[in-house]
Amino acid sequence: MPKPVSICVIGSGYVGLVAAVCFAEMGHRIHCVDNDESRIKTLREGGVPIYEEHLPELLAKHLNRGVEFTCDLEAAVQKSEAVFIAVGTPQRDTGAADLSYVEAVVAEIARAISGYTVIVEKSTVPVYTNEWIRRVLHRHGVDGQSFDVVSNPEFLREGTAIGDFLHPDRIVVGAGSERAAEVMKRIYAPLTEGSYYSQPDALAGPLTASNPARLLVTSAESAEIIKHASNAFLAMKISFINAVANLAEAVDADIEDIAAGMGMDSRIGPKFLRAGLGYGGSCFPKDVAAFHWVAQQRGVAFKLLDEIRKINDSQRDIFFNKVLSAVWTLRGKRLAALGLSYKGDTDDIRESPAIDVIRKLLEAGAIVTAYDPAAMARAQAALPPSEKLHYAGDLYEAARDADAVLILTDWKEFASIDLARLNRTVRFPIVIDGRNLYKPQTMTEHGFTYVSVGRPASYHAHQGKPRSLVL
């Protein structure tokens, strides 16, 4: 393995914690800093505050060996050759990213620098943030020769973040000097030179010693735009296939066949062509809005980004209307809601379409019993149990005596339901699938009326097809 680099990661949230543990797995010495003392205490004791595959194992492996957790930012910076900023950049009402946390951290870094240090933007930030970081450091009296600012955007998917970090599609480094670029190349050398993949306990994945990770060096401005442009493009694919799904449904076509046919084109590819409730989470909604705001500030009319958001928002209303059409009226109806997180394999409920749909159903007078394999605690904090909202211990408990079952999140568990048992459990065998986890023929064979996205609804022989509602 290449010579270890001493790294400070500021922020122990989703990006910071994953980066800290993965850098340690690559052989580096990590000082992970957070001002939340209770969170640091939890991490020091081996607790994992987020749901992420492989994270508990890697944290246990490297805790107090390759990675330490601390609230002492000054000491951590002084021990480190590179400082990664991984603090939150929440969305403002205007759509712009709130960079106040970044600025506060940079001011603290300025007081701690004692030698040449590479300061790395790891948080998702708009273009020219690197220049503002440089200005803040200068304003605090830091000599320009004692630091460089680098952009190193993350491309992590919740649920597969560890694998994405250690087996990346690409590593993007936006550096303004060769000196800074060399430090970043040393940090990522275990992946780009392939030595990590030769280790007997390396995390398995698509990359190998003979097929290592690729690193792209650009300007900082280009790197900052790559991150926002990538997420906006993926969000566009999701909104596009959902718009096509609405057309497919109107003409009795099947969006699953359409997506398969499109995805066979190597120029398009099959990923992110899944029709459903639309995107959510901490990245796509915020990044599309921030990218739009940046374009507006520079006088660029990027109207496509606004349409992406509008289509995504409309999917939740369309699904609500599907529920209304299937059960006729909602007041007093008992509905099972399967899924609370914004997608499977994560407990993140930020901007979750499932949460939004459940709120709409409750407002319409429905009684909802919800279940999620991982996001129950977070959901109950956002939507406390009430007379009309209950939380179940498993999906069959949620479905007991339900007038309809709604699939809101694409958990693997929901794609392998015992359909015969489900039919015996519900009051009426109606499934409204916002994630297209089943084939219509399979559902009708098991006695269900089945409504999905972008496909004709299928009705069990004993149930008549209702006339369409004008909504």
Q: Give pLDDT, residue 269.
A: 95
Q: Give pLDDT, residue 402.
A: 97
The answer to whether 337 and 408 are in contact (CB under 8 A) is yes
Q: Comparing C-alpha atoms, which of 121, 71, 70, 64 is closest to residue 97?
A: 121
Q: Give pLDDT, residue 469.
A: 44
Integer CA distances (angstroms), 260 to 228, 238, 247, 250, in order: 27, 14, 16, 19
Q: Give pLDDT, residue 465.
A: 54
Q: Give pLDDT, residue 468.
A: 47
Q: Comparing C-alpha atoms, which of 278, 275, 277 is closest to residue 255?
A: 275
The answer to whether 426 and 398 are in contact (CB under 8 A) is no
| Average pLDDT, integer, range 331-337 | 97
Q: Which residues partner with 405 through β-bridges?
A: 336, 431
User: Which residue reads 């997420």 in tokens?
Assistant: 231
Neighbouring residues of 304: CB distance < 8 A, sequence distance ≥ 6: 236
Q: Give pLDDT, residue 204.
A: 96
Of all residues in the chain, the percent with pLDDT exceeding 70 is 97
Which has the minimum average pLDDT: 169-183, 348-362, 457-471? 457-471
Q: Which residues partner with 118 through β-bridges?
A: 82, 148
Long-range contacts of 139-146 (CB under 8 A, 24+ apart): 140/107, 140/110, 140/111, 141/110, 142/110, 142/113, 145/116, 146/113, 146/115, 146/116, 146/117
Please give the residue that has the higher pLDDT: either 212 or 127: 212
DSSP 1-34: -PPP-EEEEE--SHHHHHHHHHHHHTT-EEEEE-
Q: Give pLDDT, residue 462.
A: 55
Helix, strand, coil tally for the chain in percent (to 5): 45, 15, 45
Q: Comparing C-alpha atoms, which of 194, 251, 183 is closest to residue 217?
A: 183
Q: For the chain, first and last CA: distance in Å?
A: 63
pLDDT-derived band at 286 (thresholds 50, 70, 90) equals confident
Dihedral (Cα; 317, 295, 104, 17), 10-degree rounding: 60
pLDDT-derived band at 470 (thresholds 50, 70, 90) equals very low
How far apart (Å, rounded) are the C-alpha atoms in residues 436 and 250?
Answer: 17
- Report whether pLDDT(88) > 90: no
- Report the chain's mean pLDDT, rounded to a whole number: 93
| Average pLDDT, integer, range 297-320 | 95
Annotated active-site residue 8? The verdict is: no
Q: Give pLDDT, residue 297.
A: 87
Describe the crossing of helices 220-250 and 284-297 by its angle, rounded to 10 degrees. Answer: 120
User: Which residue reads 């190998």 in tokens?
Assistant: 208
| Among 8, 22, 32, 283, the one annotated catalytic | 283
The answer to whether 388 and 322 are in contact (CB under 8 A) is no
Residue ranges of alpha helices (H) inside 298-352 are 303-327
Q: Give pLDDT, residue 347.
A: 94
- Report whether pLDDT(461) > 80: no
User: Which 8-state DSSP code applies to residue 91?
Assistant: B
Residues 365-413 pLDDT 10s: 999 999 999 999 999 999 999 999 999 999 999 999 999 999 999 999 9
CB neighbour class for 259 (10 Å; exposed up to 12, middle 13-18, buried from 19): buried
Q: What is the CA radius of gyration of the chain?
A: 24
How far apart (Å, rounded) are the C-alpha atoms in residues 338 and 413?
Answer: 10
Ordered by where they begin, the domains of the chain are: 6-218 (3.40.50.720), 227-311 (1.10.1040.10), 314-451 (3.40.50.720)
pTM of the model: 0.89
Which has the minimum average pLDDT: 16-20, 90-94, 390-394, 412-416? 90-94
